[in-house]
Amino acid sequence: MKNEHPSRHDQFTDDQRSRRDFLRHLLATGALAAGAGAFSQAGHAAGFADALGYSPKYPADFPAFDYVNPDAPKGGRLALSVFGNFDSLNPFVLKGLAASGLNELCFESLTARAWDEPFSAYGLLADRADLAADGLSITFRINAKARFYDGSPVTARDVLFSFNTLMSKQAHPRYRIYWADIAGAELTDARHVRFSFKRVNPELHLIIGELPVFSERWLAGRDFASLSREAFLTSGPYRVGRVDYGNTITYERNPDYWAKDLDVRRGQFNFDRIVFKYYKDETVSLEAFKAGEFDVFYETNSKRWARDYTGANFDDGRIIRREIPHKNNAGMQGFGMNTRQALFSDRRVRRAMDLALDFGWSNTHLFYGQYTRCDSYFSNSELACRGLPQGDELALLEPFKAQLPPELFREPYQVPVANNPAEQRANLLKARDLLAEAGWRVEEGMLKNAKGQAFSFEITLAMRGFERIVAPYAYNLKRLGIDVSYRTIDVSLYQRKMDRFEFDMAVVAYGESQSPGNELRDRFGSAAAHTDGSSNYMGVDSPVVDALIDRVIYAKSRVELVTACRALDRVLLWGEYLAPNWYIGAHRLAWWNRFGFHQPLPLYFDAMTWV
């Protein structure tokens, strides 16, 4: 769940993962491998640093992160676009659609991350952290200089209040899932707060550093669960300015920002104002960008990227168009099946849905060859399973052999491949045979079960741009006798349906960090399958998956974590919960040529937050 606040499931055209808002940019991690108490380093200007399985890159006296210009000028205005809608200024509850930018610009956490390291944490609101020798608690000291924008101090009481509020039923349930191993929190004095753990968890003492902190005094007398249209009192570099719900939100830089000279903040947050403009159609949004209505466009549609970035402004260099490579874990995107529905409860049926997807044809005819097929829940990373399970991975899987498909131990998992029409026809024949094994037969052109019920379902979409992608997939499904339809609905309604799992099939996307952990419970854990608002859209409910998630979370070394991730990946893939889609190893950006970008770029970054 690293570096993202729980907010909303976004759907974009070709590629969804790159602009997500779920627990975004709040990362802090570490490892017991560094030794008990190793987190109590106090030499940094920000207070301390730690990393998962390696020494932090930056020394105690570093002036700023390498990927920022510490002397960058302040001023000006940055306008960005957002697809969809918003009706709330509260990103911490299940109700409503929170505005983009709140988490990144207004709220702060105990720690901050470095985007040129896989998984590291440096002190922000906290200037010291002491991990107990037994690994079962951590105590944070709050920076005496930390201030909310009204000048009032950020205190340990605010931290305790924020934690208790987010762990209550007033807040989004993902927090309770994410921090489930935290037994509780208590004040030790006015500047110190201690978090106690139920068991030793190699990342828990650091992911609690992700805790967003808000003012207890300001929230007194307010109903947190229903608070939606009042801007919080926050400590971040910006505060909420003008708001036109559903259309625009403006953030104004705080010139007296308390942390502007900290090493983890120097050279960042340079614009006086940042404006997010909302559009309900990304083609309209692109035309607005080309007309100068906003400054930067993040492209997620391969067709537009190949064909629509033309004209005098591009020819003479007034607009720059560029693909910026990244090293991000691409995670997984796919046509996710809601296994809570009886129709998709059979793994053979789900595999048939995968066989009907002709990625090769789509990549050639729809995507201009820009994509690579997702073949893992950790695509584009060392965490992806490969070949047959061997060694330590096999040892992890063997105890569950009776609960897993026999093929998992005999065959490498492969996403269906079709390089020509004949190969796709062969895939459809395999799909037909699997459906027949599951009790489905074609009668008068319609696929039906023994009760005469037709195989009928709907693919729910939030963007019309995805309709051209779904169309050839639906065509292949209809060749199997399936009655399939697809429908694009309003973003707000779409989100409500996803939160309540009221769909048959939908496009789901799971972006991943370099070191997955507790967020996996929210995505694939059995408890989350029955929790409204969780990210377990597909309804994965497996004791094997639960056990392997625990092996990831409680891994004591990078080697153990990689092994556990590969085992988990293999089990999820053989579970056939979705028909994998695709990813791209670069950010597609266009911007008006009035900005400077510091080199080098960070290795792991979300493009729009970096902008």
- Give pLDDT tens digits for 31-85: 222 333 334 433 344 457 776 667 889 887 889 999 899 999 999 999 999 999 9
Q: Please, what is the end-to-end C-alpha distance for the chain in angstroms?
A: 22
* Residue recorded with tokens 């901050």: 112
3-state secondary structure of 105: helix
Instruction: Write out the DSSP string of 161-220.
Output: HHHHHHTSTTS-HHHHHHTTTEEEEEEEETTEEEEEESS--TTHHHHGGG-EE--HHHHT
CATH architecture of 332-583: Roll (3.10)
Residue type, 553: I
**What span, in angstroms and rounded, lies between the C-alpha atoms of 557 and 119?**
13
Query: Does a cis peptide bond (omega within 30 degrees of 0) precede residue 600?
Result: yes
Please name the residues in contact with 102: beta carbons below 8 A apart, sequence gap of 6 or more.
Answer: 89, 91, 240
- Identify the pLDDT of residue 53: 67
Closest CA to 536 of 564, 578, 501: 501
Spatial contact of 297 and 78, defined as CB atoms under 8 Å apart: no
Distances (CA, A) of 415 to 115, 235, 377, 579, 585: 32, 47, 12, 8, 19
Tell me which amino acid residue 512 is.
Answer: E
How many angstroms separate the CA atoms of 40 and 128, rounded? 6
The partner residues of 586 in beta bridges, in order of sequence, read 325
Which of 245, 251, 210, 260 is CA-nearest to residue 232?
251
Across the strands, what pairs with 192?
Answer: 141, 189
Residue 43 pLDDT: 36
Which residues, in sequence order, are CB contacts of 287 under 8 Å at separation 6+? none
Q: Which amino acid is at 5?
A: H
Phi, psi of 448 (to 5 degrees): -135, 155
Amino acid at 391: G
Distance CA 392, CA 404 (A): 17
Domain ranges of the chain: 4-275+586-610, 332-583
**Displacement of CA 372 from its chain's centroid (Å):** 19
CA distance 366 to 60: 50
Question: Whole-angstrom Cα distance, residue 274 to residue 80?
Answer: 8
Whether residue 271 contacts residue 105, with contact meaning beta carbons closer than 8 Å, is answered with no
Contact between 474 and 486 (Cβ < 8 Å): yes
Specify whether the CB–CB gap between 400 and 552 falls below 8 A: no
What's residue 467's pLDDT?
94
Crossing angle, helix 558-575 and helix 543-553, to 10 degrees?
160
Instruction: Tell me how far apart the alpha carbons of residues 160 and 187 are, in angstroms, rounded to a whole number.
Output: 7
Structure tokens at 562: 């990689």
What is the arrangement of strands in the sheet containing 137-142, beginning at the earlier edge strand? Answer: 126-131, 137-142, 192-197, 182-189
pLDDT beneath 50: ranges in the chain: 1-13, 15-46
Distance CA 374, CA 366 (A): 17
Long-range contacts of 256-263 (CB under 8 A, 24+ apart): 256/149, 256/151, 257/149, 258/145, 258/146, 258/147, 259/108, 259/124, 259/145, 259/146, 259/235, 262/45, 262/46, 262/124, 263/44, 263/45, 263/46, 263/58, 263/62, 263/63, 263/64, 263/65, 263/122
Is the separation of the CB atoms in 174 and 525 below 8 Å?
Answer: no
Angle between helices 421-437 and 467-479 (to 10 degrees): 60
- Amino acid at the residue 300: T
3-class secondary structure, 592? strand
Q: Per the CATH hierarchy, to which homologous superfamily does domain 4-275+586-610 belong?
A: Periplasmic binding protein-like II (3.40.190.10)
- For the stretch 198-223, pLDDT in tens is 999 888 988 999 999 999 999 998 99
Pull the structure tokens for residue 192: 């110190």
State how far the Cα of 293 lies from the Cα of 315, in Å rounded to an integer.
19
Q: Give the angle subtended at the CA of 422 by the CAs of 416 and 427, to the nearest 5°.
A: 30
Largest Cα separation within the chain, whole Å, is 76
DSSP 8-state class, residue 135: S
494 phi/psi in degrees, rounded to 5: -60, -45
Which residue bears the tokens 């490579």? 325
